[in-house]
Structure 1
Amino acid sequence: MIRIHCTKKLDTKLPLDSSARLKRKLPIPHAANDEPESPLSGWHANLLTIQRRNCVFFVHDSTRFPLLATCLTKPDFAELDWWFQDALMNTLLKSGANQAQMDAAESALAELVCDLECDRSVQATMNRMGQDLEHQIWYNRLSISDLAPYRTGAWLAERPCTVKGVKGAIWPQREMLALLDTINR
């Protein structure tokens, strides 16, 4: 499973069952690993409303790697597994992941499990990246429906982030690709 720490704003939109899994209508998207925790587990997610459109912004806890899913409708929230996997794989492609790293990411995909736990350091990174995203949209006079979410996620991953307890900064793109290199070794 891949654990997603949701904000209250996002949690109210998600159709969750008693085990905190999504009540989906479609089959589980790609992988259905029933491992306790996937090596890719540990994400924070927030619901952003940009130009009256629902967008879900994900940030990986340890690498600070961002993902963006834009223009979601109410039925899309039940299929958040699909949106997450699509954003992850395509953002990795835009970030320059090689075939071994893509295969490692694919093998680590699993069903999403949501909770309301939070880490203030990750939330601060997520808020800063969300503000950078909104500034880019405003400054370049973009429509959210015309924005390339995978390229935007890769663009946000190219910047340094500070992490509580880590001296200096980390680079989300490098950290995520390094994490993928350790999977399946």
Structure 2
Amino acid sequence: MIRLHCTKKILAKLPLDSSDRLKRKLPLPHAANDGPESPLSGWHANLLTIQRRSCVLFVHDSTCFPVLATCLTKPDFAELDWWFQDALMNTLLKSGANEAQMDAAAGALSYLTCDSECDRSVQATMNRMGQDLEHQISYDRLSISDLAPYRTGAWLADRPYTVKGVKGAIWPQREMLALLDTIKR
């Protein structure tokens, strides 16, 4: 399982069952290990409304690696597992992950289990990424529907972020690729 800490905005949109999993209809694109917590577990998610479109920004707790899903509709929220896995794998690809790292990520993917517990430090990083995203869209006069979410996630990952309790800055792209190198296949 992959634990997903949701803000109140996104939690209100998610159709969850009694075990806090999404009520989905589509099969997941990658392996779905239904065991204990995955090494990739620990993400925060926030709902962003950009140009009247629903977008979800996911940020990994320990690496601050961002994953972006744009232009979601109401039925897409039931399939958030699918959107998350697709966006994560493609963002890793755009971030320069090698084949071993991609295999490690695919093997560690699992179902999302949602809750409302949030870390304020990760939320602050997520808010900064959201502001950077909105600034890029406004500055470059882009349409959110024309934005490449995987490349944008890689762009957000290739900059330093500060996190409470960590001396210096975290480079999310480097940290996530290093985490993938430690996952046993």
Q: TM-score range by the shorter chain?
A: over 0.9
Q: Give the match for residue 152 of structure 2.
A: 152
Gaps of 5+ in 2: none
* Partners of 1:166 and 1:66 in 2: CA distance: 18
Report the AA paired with residue 160 of structure 1: P
Report the AA paired with residue 137 of structure 2: I
Q: Give the match for residue 141 of structure 2.
A: 141
Report the AA paired with residue 169 of structure 1: A
* Partners of 2:94 and 2:116 in 1: CA distance: 30
Quote the RMSD (CA, aligned, Å): 0.8
> Which deviations, in whole Å up to 9, do the C-alpha atoms of 1:47-88 show, x marking residues without a partner?
000000000000000000000000000000000001000100
The SS at the match of 1:162 is coil
Q: Give the match for residue 35 of structure 1.
A: 35
Q: Give the match for residue 108 of structure 1.
A: 108
* Partners of 2:170 and 2:77 in 1: CA distance: 31
**Is the CA contact (8 Å cut-off) linking 1:160 and 1:171 kept in structure 2?**
yes
> Which deviations, in whole Å up to 9, do the C-alpha atoms of 1:95-151 show, x marking residues without a partner?
000000000000000000000000000000000000000000000000000000000
Report the AA paired with residue 60 of structure 1: H
- The size of the alignment, in residue pairs, is 185
The SS at the match of 1:161 is coil
The SS at the match of 1:170 is coil
TM-score by length of 1: 0.98
TM-score by length of 2: 0.98
Is the aligned partner of 1:46 residue 2:49? Answer: no
**Is the CA contact (8 Å cut-off) linking 2:29 and 2:86 kept in structure 1?**
no
* Partners of 1:28 and 1:157 in 2: CA distance: 25
Q: Give the match for residue 172 of structure 1.
A: 172
Greater alpha carbon shift after TM alignment, 19-28 vs 122-131 = 19-28
Is the aligned partner of 1:3 residue 2:22? Answer: no
* Partners of 1:27 and 1:162 in 2: CA distance: 37
* Partners of 1:156 and 1:64 in 2: CA distance: 10
Identity among equivalent positions (%) equals 88
- Cα offset, 1:29, TM superposition: 3.6
**Is the CA contact (8 Å cut-off) linking 1:31 and 1:111 kept in structure 2?**
no
**Is the CA contact (8 Å cut-off) linking 1:57 and 1:66 kept in structure 2?**
yes
Q: Give the match for residue 18 of structure 2.
A: 18
The SS at the match of 2:59 is strand
